[in-house]
Amino acid sequence: MLQIYNSLTQRKEAFKPIEPGKVNIYVCGVTVYDYCHLGHARTYTAFDVIIRYLRWQGFDVTYVRNITDIDDKIIKRANEIHDDFYVIVDKFTKAMHEDFGAIGLLLPNHEPRATEFMQPMIAMIEKLIANNHAYVAENGDVYYAVRAFKNYGCLAHRDIEKLESGARVEINDVKKDPLDFVLWKLAKPDEPKWPSPWGDGRPGWHIECSAMSTSMFGDTFDIHGGGKDLIFPHHENELAQAETATGATFVNLWMHAGFLQIDKEKMSKSLGNFFTIRDLLKEHAPEVLRYFLITSHYRSPLHYSTDMIQQARNALERFYTSLRDLPDAEPIANTLFLEKFTNAMDDDFNTPVALSVLFELSHEIQRLRDKDMTAAAAHGALLKQLGGVLGILQDNPVAFFQSGTKSIDVTKIEALIAARNKARTDKNWAEADRARDELAAMSIILEDGPSGTIWKAK
């Protein structure tokens, strides 16, 4: 029975979708004003694995991941580089798709953009004003009145009085309460703007997700996700807006991914301690990054280091070594491996335990290989199938061994291998050794196997 941790109740719960067999999941997407870094990849890979697993278990999953294409950060960026707002949005949306595709993230079923949902946002704000949960401030901006919602703080598990005392009171603040947050902001000259009953302007960040998710899924849906930093204030505010606008429970299950950290700090744009996905892909095979990202449980922090990335590569090499040269076969059925893998994933998507089961399977393939190739192949097919549920191990083993070598001259490597093979045929051992040494100096190692010599990048 699948158990999932719910941030709202702070415990694992048996998963029960609203409609049996169907799952509606909304994950907050990227604000497209720069290239995505590995921290983004951490959260979206976590949800990618969750969605793959749910589908593998037979659920009909509708995955919605929005694009925040209107935001102060985008406007600031456009002003900084003197480019048009839309040019920035297009450029970084395209880059996000390329980078996410490279690390094997499934496309969401829908990718709504905030700017396409102005009407539902305006309608929700109008409802909130009518219900006395929002007001137009002196400066014309519209604010959500936090105090009018008695459950405010329920998701973040924070007491409203404590939040209040910590809130920053700004000079000339037009809010009635320091915790109130903006729903509609009037445009300053030269800012992008949309018409509304309160004047031309743009929505606040939080309202977009409440309006888009309920427009697509209805008032209540199964799962809402994002990184842990979104619990407060973004998701708390989304919940407040949606529940006071519709009167219904907004979301049944809230899921949050832990941070990718570097030197014990969250990898983030603002701290400047980030590596973009595209820069990392110049050095590492995409699958290595993906493997690294699932080595810790999705709710736990994950620590980035070059050593951890190397360990991910080594682990994948071991898996691909066990898959190499196996004949095609159907996955072995009814084995303990399958049961253990499913138990691990049913326990709140425990990928580290699931990977340890795949390791046991990989050892079993190596053990069987010498005495029963048919059984080895059937276990290999299962390893590949279960790897696919995590979005790994779908490559050709030799292609993987040679991956992550974009900066290496493959023609030169192949010429050196040919020279070495010829020298060996000629029994010119000195020349054969010289070619091997030259390859070693390029961090290329050779392996002579049953299907000939292959090279690996180290």
Shortest Cβ distance from residue 226 to Zn ion (Å)? 6
- Mode of pairing for the β-strands spanning 260-262 and 265-266: antiparallel
Interface residue with ligand AMP, options 17, 108, 203, 227 (CB under 6 A) = 227
Cβ burial, residue 398 (10 Å; 0-12/13-18/19+): middle
Binding mask 17-36 for ligand AMP (x = CB under 6 A): -----------x-xx-----
Residue 95 binds ligand AMP, judged by CB under 6 A: no
**Residue 135: strand pairing partners:** 143
Q: State the binding partner of 209 from ligand AMP, Zn ion, none, CB within 5 to 8 A by kind.
A: Zn ion
CB 353 within 8 A of CB 390: no
* 227 interface partner picked from ligand AMP, Zn ion, none, CB below 5 to 8 A per type: ligand AMP
- Please state whether beta strands 201-203 and 11-14 pair in parallel, antiparallel, or not at all (unpaired): unpaired
E strands along 122-274, which residues?
134-136, 142-144, 181-186, 201-203, 221-227, 251-257, 260-262, 265-266
Helix (H/G/I), strand (E/B), else coil: 18 = coil
Q: How far is CA 29 from the centre of its chain?
A: 9
Mark the segment that binds ligand AMP (CB under 6 A) among 6-14, 38-46, 342-350, 388-396: 38-46
Minimum CB distance to ligand AMP smaller for 35 or for 319: 35
Q: Which does 384 bind (CB under 5 to 8 A by kind): ligand AMP, Zn ion, none?
A: none
Distances in Å between the alpha carbon of 80 and those of 73, 85, 205, 454? 10, 11, 21, 50
Stretch that binds Zn ion, among 40-48, 70-78, 209-217, 335-343 (CB under 5 A): 209-217
- Are 379 and 332 spatial neighbours (Cβ–Cβ below 8 Å)? yes
Q: Does 240 bind Zn ion (CB under 5 A)?
A: no
Listed ranges 53-61, 78-86, 208-216, 253-261: which one lies at the site for ligand AMP (CB under 6 A): 253-261
By the rule CB under 6 A, 45 interacts with ligand AMP: no
Question: Please, what is the end-to-end C-alpha distance for the chain in angstroms?
Answer: 42
Shortest distance, position 216 Cβ to ligand AMP, whole Å:
18
Give the binding-site size for ligand AMP (rule: CB under 6 A): 17
Task: Count residues near Zn ion (CB under 5 A).
Answer: 2
Closest approach of ligand AMP to the CB of residue 146, in Å: 21
Closest distance to ligand AMP from the beta carbon of 356 (Å): 23
From ligand AMP, Zn ion, none, interface partner of 204 (C-beta below 5 to 8 A by class) = none
Which of 6, 7, 43, 276 forms a contact with ligand AMP (CB under 6 A)? 43
Which residues within the stretch 265-324 sit at the binding site for ligand AMP (CB under 6 A)?
Answer: 266-268
In whole angstroms, the minimum distance from the beta carbon of 70 to ligand AMP comes to: 13
* CA 358 – CA 368 distance, rounded (Å): 15
Q: Which helix (H) or strand (E) holds 160?
A: helix 160-166
d(CA 186, CA 264): 39
Instruction: Kindly list the distances between the CA atom of residue 395 and the CA atoms of 224, 317, 319, 324, in Å, as whole numbers in the listed order.
Output: 32, 11, 11, 11
Interface segment toward ligand AMP; rule CB under 6 A; list 1-9, 136-144, 242-250, 264-272? 264-272
Q: Using CA atoms, how far apart are residues 48 and 286, in angstroms rounded to an integer?
A: 15
Give the residue with the Cβ less far from ligand AMP, 28 or 125: 28
Q: How far apart are CB 44 and ligand AMP at their closest, in Å?
A: 7
Binding partner selected for residue 42 from Zn ion, ligand AMP, none, CB under the kind-specific 5 to 8 Å limit: ligand AMP
* 40 sits near ligand AMP (criterion: CB under 6 A): yes
Alpha helices (runs of H) in 222-372, residue ranges in sequence order:
236-246, 277-283, 286-293, 306-323, 336-346, 351-369
Sign, CA dihedral 7-8-10-15, equals negative
28 lies in the site for Zn ion, by CB under 5 A: yes
Binding segment (CB under 5 A) for Zn ion, from list 155-163, 165-173, 206-214, 331-339: 206-214
Tell me: does residue 209 bind Zn ion (CB under 5 A).
Answer: yes
- Alpha-carbon distance values, 20 to 24, 59, 86, 136, 278 (Å): 11, 8, 41, 42, 39
Q: Which is nearer to ligand AMP, 93 or 335 (CB)?
A: 93
Exposure letters 243-275 (e unless 16+ CB within 10 A, then b): bbbbeeebbbbbbbbbbbbbeeebbbbeeebbb
H/E stretch holding 90 reads helix 85-102
Residues that bind Zn ion (CB under 5 A): 28, 209
Residues that bind ligand AMP (CB under 6 A): 28, 30-31, 39-40, 42-43, 226-227, 229-230, 257, 259-260, 266-268
